[in-house]
Amino acid sequence: AAFTLAELQNYRQDEGGLLLAVWGRVFDVTNGKEFYGQGQGYRVFAGHDCTRAFALTSTKAKWLDQGLDGLTEKQIVHLNQTYWETYVAKYPVVGKLLDAPYNPADYDHFAGPFSEVRRTRPHKAAETSKPRQSRCPVT
């Protein structure tokens, strides 16, 4: 599936699904609604491209749906080692962002070929129905 930034904003509802994008890859984070759902601390991320905010480790809305100009190599590597690797392990990729505010293909060396983005399953085995212990969405 392919999404625009405007379409992605339709996926901020617990019932309708919770999606967010990192490096132009769209993740279904509905199973993490204890983090991204109504009234939760990371709700701000649902329905947005979070790449810049994650690189800056910021929950400020002003960094959502923004380009990556001015980020340091250290911030990009941190984004890859913390957020990207965690999201790939925990949440399925359900599509790609058509109008990312940066060129997602520039980050293929971290995220794989953007031209070949397809639906995936999380790399970790599915968790049981018991509540998660961690309150952090990246652990």
For residue 91, the model assigns a pLDDT of 96
Mean pLDDT for 103-115 is 93
**pLDDT of 61 higher than 60:** yes
Query: What is the value of pTM for the model shown?
Result: 0.86
- The pLDDT of 104-118, averaged and rounded, is 93
Mind listing the pLDDT tens digit for each residue in 62-91? 999 999 999 999 999 999 998 888 899 999
- The reported pLDDT for the residue numbered 126 is 44
SS (H, E, C) 18-43: EEEEECCEEEECHHHHHHHCCCCCCH
CB contact set of 130 (below 8 Å; sequence gap of 6+): none
- Cβ neighbors of 57 (< 8 A, separation 6 or more) are 78, 82
- What pLDDT does residue 129 have? 41
User: In this model, does residue 131 exceed pLDDT 60?
Assistant: no
Q: In what order do the strands lie in the sheet with 12-13?
A: 2-3, 93-97, 25-28, 17-22, 12-13
Per-residue pLDDT at 15: 82
- At 135 the pLDDT is 60
Residue 24 has pLDDT above 90, yes or no: yes
Give the pLDDT confidence score for residue 122 in this predicted structure.
77
pLDDT tens digit sequence for 25-57: 999 999 999 999 999 999 999 999 999 999 999
